[in-house]
Amino acid sequence: MPEFHRTNGLTEVATHYCPGCTHGVIHRLIGEVLTELDVLSNTIGVVPVGCAVMAYDYFNCDCVQAPHGRAPAVATGVKRALPDATVFTYQGDGDLAAIGTAETVHAATRGENITVIFVNNAIYGMTGGQMAPTTLPGQVTQTTPEGRDVHRAGFPVRMSEMLATLDGAAYIERVSMDSVPHIRTAKKAIRKAFETQLAGKGFSMVEVLSTCPTNWGMSPVDALEWVKEKMIPYYPLGVYKDRTKEGVF
Amino acid sequence: MDYQILIAGFGGQGILFTGKILAKAGLTQGKNVSWLPSYGPEMRGGTANCSVCVSDSEISNPMVLQPNILIVMNQPSWSKFICAAQPGADVFWDSTLIAPEGTRTDVSLHPIPATGIARQNGVERLGNVVMLGYLLHQIPILEKDAFFSLLTDSISETKRHLVQANRTAFEAGYAYSPHEGQKSRHDA
Amino acid sequence: MPQKFLMKGNEAIAEAAIRAGCRFFFGYPITPQTEVAAYMAKRMPEVNGVYLQAESEVAAINMVLGAASTGARVMTSSSSPGISLKSEGISYIAASDLPCVIINVQRAGPGLGGIQPSQADYFQATRGLGHGDFHLMVFAPAGVQEITDLVAQAFDLSDRYRVPALILADGMIGQMMEPVAFSEQSPHPAEKPWALTGHRNQRRPNIINTLHLSPDKLEQTVIERFARYDSICANETLCEQMLTDDADVVVVAYGAASRIAKAAVRAAREKGIRAGLFRPITLWPYPSAALAALCETTKAFLCVEMSMGQMVEDVRLAVNGRRPVEFYGRTGGNVPHPNDILQAIESAAQMAPQNERR
C-alpha cells in the first residue's frame, strides 16, 4: 500500500485555511503536478488577494503576490520576461471574476501562455462572506442577507463558458472538489493545463468548484454536499475548450 | 542668427513637415534648434501650427509667440497670427488661399501663390514645398543644394516616389519672383 | 562628438530607455505620450525586446510589476488620467521594492481635463502616487537632451536603490523636437539576487510580497525603505541654477515652465532687474538645501508653474519663511507667457524687502 507523503511542490509551512476548506487540496494538486512535470524549480507562481493571499508561503517555488484581480497581468509580465519559465496564477472568484475580469479576459484573448487556477467557492471568504460574482441566485451572504435577488444583484458569472469563446484560450475545464473521483479528475485537468503551457499552446484555465464551510455556515461535509447539489447544476463540470492539439495560433 | 519661425495652416498642408525641414537646416549648421507642434484635434483636419527656433544662442522658450519669420498657409491662420509678427518680421503667405485682411506696414510682406504654382506644375499638394523654395531664396538659411538634399532625405520611405515632385515644387518656388514692389533680399 | 539627431521628447524617452537596457514596455494609448508607445512598438522587436499594448493602464502597470519581479529592466508610459489608474500598481511596486521607470507626460486635469501641457500632477508625483508611506524618485527634464540623460539615470538609480522612478514630463517637452546626442555610456544594472527566476533547486524560493499583517513587521519594512530614501536624499538631488549668484529675485520653475521662465529671467536682466532661475531637476528628492541656501543672497522667490500652485509648497517649506515666496501660474493646458512672468518678477522685485543689505 503506497504511503502518503508531503509533496515537494509545497513547503512545510502549515496553511492558514479554515477547517474543511478545499484550498489545501487544490494547493496539493498543483504541487504534485509541478513536481511530476519536473518544472517546480523553474516555476513562478502569482498569488492573489483573497483567502489564498499567503499562498506564496505554501508553494515551493518563486512567487509574487499581485494586487487584487491583477494576477493575469502580473503573470503576463513575468511570462514575457521569462518565456521558458512555467507561470501560473492562483485566484479566487472575486479576484478573477469581479475586480480582475478585464485582466482575465485579455490574458485569455491574447493567448497568453500561462495557466490560471480559478477557485470558485461562490463567496468572498477573506473579508467574511460577502456576495461574490459567482454567488448563486438565492444564496445568503453577508451582503445578500435575504438571498441573492437577481433583480437587484444580477446573475452569477460563468467564467469558463465565457472564456471558452475566446480564440486565445487553449484549454478551459471546470472541475470540482466535492468527491474523490472529482478530485482525481481535477488533478488530470490541472496537469493538462500545465502541459498546455509547456507545449506553448496558449492560455489555459482550470476552474475549481470549492467550499467555504465557514462563510457558508455549514459543516465541511454539508459544504461538499452543497457543491454537488447547488453549485454543479449551475456550473456544469467538463471541458469547455480544448485546442491543445492544434494550439491557438 | 536668431530665427523665430511660426508656420500655420490647415492640417494636411505639411505645416509640421515644413517646420522640421527648417529645424534640420539649422541643425546642419550647428545652430541651436527647437521644433514645437500644436497637437491634438488640430492634427486631424483643423488648423495646425508649429514653432521653430534656429539660434546662435541657447533657446530658452521653444514656443514662438512673436515670430520674426511668419509663414501662413490659410485664411484662419492669417487672422490669428498676423498681429503676432514682430515689427520688421518677414511674413510669407500663400496668396492663392489667403486674401489678406488689414495691413501691417511694419513688416516685410512676401506673398506667393504657392498652391496655385503647385497646381500649375502638377504637384497640387506640395504648396508647402513651393513655399519652402521661395523662403529659401528670400532668406538663405542654408545653401540651396544642401537644403534640397536635406528635404529629400526627410521624405518618408512610403513617399519616396514623390522626390521628383518635391524637386519640381521646390524649384518652382525658388524661381518665383514677385511682380513688383518686393525685391528679394538675396538679390539685393 | 556623437552625432546629433533631431528627436521628439517622447521618442527620446523611448530610445533612451532602450539604450539603458530596457527590453520590456507595457503601455496603453493616451495623448500626449502616444509616440513613446509607437516608437517602442517599432524599436523593441529590433532589439529582441517586448512591446505589449495592455487592455488598460491598470493592466500595464501590473505587467511592469511582473516583468520587474524577474529582474528585467522595464518601463511604462502614460499621461495624467492614465497615471491615476496606475497608482494602485505603483504602490504595490514601491512596496515590493521593485525597480522600474514610469513616464508621465502630463496633460491638463482634473478628470479627462485637456490634452495640452500641464504640471498639475506635481502633488500626485511627489506626495501621493498611491496609498501608503512611500516615495518614487521623480525626475523633471526640461529639454530633449536632458530626457535622454535622466532616463538612463532613472534606470540605474532605480536598480541601485530598488525604488521605482518617475519621469515627470509634460505635453510640451514630450512633443517638441530638439537635437539629441546619446552618450556612449553603458547602463549599470545592479545585482538582483531577489529576482524571481525559478529557484533551480539552488536556493529557497524567492518571494515578492507586500502583505505584512504584523504592524511591527510592516513598520520595520517601511523604516528600512525610508533608510534608502534618506540615502537617495543625501546623494541624488539635482538642480540647475542660472544667474542666481547676485539675484534679487529667484524664479523657481521646473520642466516646460522653466524654459519659459528662463526667457523671462533673461528679459528681466535686460531691464536691469537682477533675476535668476532655480530649476529643480529631481522633484523628489527636492533640492531644498540648495534652494534654502539662496535665502542668504536673494530677496524674494517667485515660483512659476503650469498649475494653480503645487511645487510652491515645497519652495515655501525650503525657504521656511525667511523670504517672501510669490507664485505665478497658468493652468488648464495654458502655458505662461514670458511677458506675464516678467511682470511677476517685477512685482516680486518691488515687494522684496528693500532695506536689507546683503
Chain segment C103-137, per-residue pLDDT in tens: 999 999 999 999 999 999 999 999 989 999 999 99
Query: What is the pLDDT, as a whole number, of residue C356?
Result: 53
Residue range C281-292: mean pLDDT, rounded: 98
In this complex, whether C and A touch, counting 3 or more CB pairs under 8 angstroms, is: yes
Q: How far is CA C339 from the centre of its chain?
A: 27
Interface check A224 vs C, CB under 8 A: no
pLDDT beyond 90 at B103: no
Q: Which residues of C touch B36 (CB under 8 A)?
A: 172, 175-177
Contact by Cβ (8 Å): C176, B36: yes
CATH of the domain at B171: 3.40.920.10
Q: Is C356 within the bounds of a domain? A: no
pLDDT of residue A4: 85
Q: In the prediction, which pLDDT does C258 show?
A: 98
Residue B182: its pLDDT value, please?
Answer: 44
Is A23-242 assigned to CATH 3.40.50.970?
yes
Predicted complex ipTM: 0.96
Q: How far is CA A181 from CA A185, A189, C344, in A?
A: 6, 12, 80
On whether the CB atoms of residues A205 and A169 are closer than 8 A, the answer is yes
Residue C36 within a domain: yes
CB B27 within 8 A of CB B57: no
Residue B182 placed within a domain: no
Evaluate if residue B184 carries a pLDDT over 80.
no
Residue B81 lies in a domain: yes
Partners of B91 in the β-ladder: B70, B109
Cβ–Cβ < 8 Å for C103, C65: no
Cβ proximity of A31 and A8 under 8 Å: yes
Give every CB contact of residue A129 below 8 A, 6+ residues apart in sequence: A123, A141, A142, A212, A214, A215, A216
B41 to chain C: closest CA residue:
C115
**Beta strand A115-120 with A86-92: parallel, antiparallel or unpaired?**
parallel
Is C225 in the same domain as C274? no
Res C352: pLDDT: 73
The DSSP result for C130-141, as a single string, is: SSSS---EEE--
pTM assigned to the model: 0.95
Domain boundary residue, one of C235, C264, C280: C235
Grid cell digits, residue B27:
541643425
DSSP secondary structure letter of residue C56: S
The one-letter amino acid at C16: A
Residue C256 is part of a domain; what is its CATH number? 3.40.50.920
Interchain CB contact of B100 with C (< 8 Å):
no
Pairwise CA distance, residues A74 & A95, whole Å: 13
Mean pLDDT of chain B: 90
Sign of CA dihedral A119, A124, A125, A130: negative
* Percent share of chain B, pLDDT over 70: 91
Residues C263 and C338 in one domain: yes
The Cβ-side half-sphere exposure at A97, using a 13 Å CA radius, reads 27
Query: C251 and C219, same structural domain?
Result: no
State the first-to-last Cα distance of chain A, in angstroms, to the nearest integer: 45
Q: Is the pLDDT of residue C358 over 90?
A: no
Residue C316 in any domain: the answer is: yes
Give dist(CA B37, CA B43) in Å, integer.
9
Q: Of C189, C273, C171, C282, which is closest to residue C232 (Cα–Cα)? A: C282
**Looking at residue C143, which CATH number applies to its domain?**
3.40.50.970
User: Can you give A162-221 as a three-state secondary structure string?
Assistant: HHHCCCCEEEEEEEECCCHHHHHHHHHHHHHHHHHHHCCCCEEEEEEECCCHHHHCCCHH
Question: Which amino acid belongs to residue B43?
Answer: M
Place of cell 491583477: A70
Assess if residue C41 is contained within a domain. Answer: yes
3-state secondary structure at position C275: strand
Burial of C190 (0-12, 13-18, 19+ CB in 10 A): middle
C247 & C224 share domain: no
The A residues from 133 to 172 touching C (CB cutoff 8 Å) are none
Query: Domain span at residue B25?
Result: 2-175
- Nearest-by-Cβ selection for C263 from B37, B40, B61: B61
Q: Is-contact B2 B65, C-beta < 8 A?
A: no
Render the burial of B98-123: b for 16+ CB within 10 Å, e for the rest: bebeeeeeebebbbbbbbebbbebeb
Kindly state whether residues C193 and C87 are assigned to the same domain.
Answer: yes
User: Among C225, C193, C204, C234, which Cα is nearest to C97's?
Assistant: C225
CB nearest to C205's CB, from A61, A77, A106: A61
Torsion sign (Cα): C281, C283, C289, C293:
positive
Work out the angle at residue C322's Cα, subtended by the Cα atoms of residues C316 and C323, and round it to the nearest 5 degrees. 75
Nearest chain C alpha carbon to B62: C259
C258/C277 Cα distance (integer angstroms): 8
Query: Cβ–Cβ contacts within 10 Å for residue A128, how many?
Result: 11
Per-residue pLDDT of chain A (249 residues; tens, 9 = 90+): 778 889 999 999 999 999 999 999 999 999 999 999 999 999 999 999 999 999 999 999 999 999 999 999 999 999 999 999 999 999 999 999 999 999 999 999 999 999 999 999 999 999 999 999 999 999 999 999 999 999 999 999 999 999 999 999 999 999 999 999 999 999 999 999 999 999 999 999 999 999 999 999 999 999 999 999 999 999 999 999 999 999 999
pLDDT score at A172: 98
Q: Which residues, 6+ apart, have CB-to-CB distance to B63 below 8 Å?
A: B36, B51, C172, C260, C335
Q: Are A177 and A187 a contacting pair, CB within 8 Å? A: no
Nearest neighbour of B60 by CB, restricted to C32, C115, C262: C262
Q: Is C172 in contact with B24 (Cβ distance < 8 A)?
A: no
User: What's the order of all strands across the beta sheet hosting B47-55?
Assistant: B108-112, B90-94, B69-72, B2-10, B47-55, B32-37, C177-180, C5-8
Dist CA B31 CA B34 (whole Å): 10
The count of C-alpha atoms lying within 13 angstroms of the C-alpha of C115, restricted to the half-sphere facing its C-beta, is: 14
Give residue C274's domain range.
240-351
C111 vs B12: which has the higher pLDDT: C111
- Distance (Å, whole) CA C345 – CA A185: 77
- Residues with Cβ within 8 Å of C215's Cβ and at least 6 positions away in sequence, in order, are none
Q: Do chains A and B touch (3 or more CB pairs under 8 A)?
A: no
Please provide the DSSP assignment of C143-155 as one string.
SHHHHHHHHHHHH
What span, in angstroms and rounded, lies between the C-alpha atoms of A187 and A194? 11
Of C204, C235, C266, which residue sits at a domain end?
Answer: C235
Query: What is the pLDDT at residue C155?
Result: 98
SS3 label, residue C42: helix
Residue with cell 521569462: A82
Three cell numbers at C137?
Answer: 524618485
Q: Is residue C64 part of a domain?
A: yes
- Output the average pLDDT for chain C: 96
Instruction: Quickly count: other Cβ atoms within 10 Å of residue A153's Cβ.
Output: 16
- Strand pairing class (C275-280; C300-305): unpaired
* Residue C64 touches partner A, C-beta closer than 8 Å: yes
Q: Residue B45 has what pLDDT?
A: 57
For chain C, where are the E strands, in sequence order? 5-8, 24-27, 50-53, 74-78, 101-106, 137-139, 165-170, 177-180, 207-208, 239-242, 249-252, 275-280, 282-284, 300-305, 325-329
**Are B27 and C177 an interchain contact pair (Cβ–Cβ within 8 Å)?**
no
**Cell numbers that stand for C230 in this block:** 534618506
C218 touching A (Cβ < 8 Å): no
Question: How many H-runs (helices) and E-runs (strands) does chain A carry?
Answer: 10, 7
DSSP state of A67: P
- How many structural domains are present in chain B? 1
List all residues of chain B from 13 to 42 with a beta carbon under 8 Å from chain C: 20, 23-24, 27, 32-37, 39-40
Contact by Cβ (8 Å): C85, C57: yes
Instruction: Give dist(CA C167, CA C155) in Å, integer.
Output: 10
Last-in-domain residue among C205, C235, C265: C235
Is the Cβ of A62 closer than 8 Å to some Cβ of chain C? yes
Residue A68: CA count within 13 A, CB half-sphere: 11
- Show residues of chain B in contact with C172, CB under 8 Å: 36, 62-63
Sign of CA dihedral C202, C208, C214, C220: positive
Handedness of CA A23, A29, A35, A41 (dihedral sign): negative
- Cβ <8 Å between A64 and C207: yes
What pLDDT, on a 0 to 100 scale, did the predictor assign at position B126?
95
Same domain, C9 and C66: yes
Residue C199 burial (CB count, 10 A) = 18
In a domain, residue B79? The reply is yes
Asked if residue C264 and residue C230 are part of one domain, the reply reads no
C177 touching chain B per CB within 8 A: yes
Return the residue of A nearest to C205 by Cα.
Answer: A62
Those residues whose C-beta lies under 8 Å from the C-beta of residue A140, and which sit 6 or more positions away, are A146, A147, A148
Distance from CA of B25 to the nearest CA of C (A): 11
Helix axes C9-19, C144-161, angle to 10 degrees: 40
User: Is B touching C (3+ C-beta pairs, cut-off 8 A)?
Assistant: yes
Q: What is the C-alpha to C-alpha distance for residues A107 and A112, in angstroms, rounded to an integer?
A: 5
Give me the pLDDT at residue A3, please: 84
Contact C118, C83 (CB under 8 A): no
Residue C292 has pLDDT above 70, yes or no: yes
Say whether pLDDT at B187 is over 50: no
Determine the angle formed by the axes of helices B127-138 and B144-153, rounding to 10 degrees: 150
- Residue C1 confidence (pLDDT): 64
Task: Round to whole Å and give the CA distance between C314 and C253.
Answer: 12
How many domains, chain C? 2
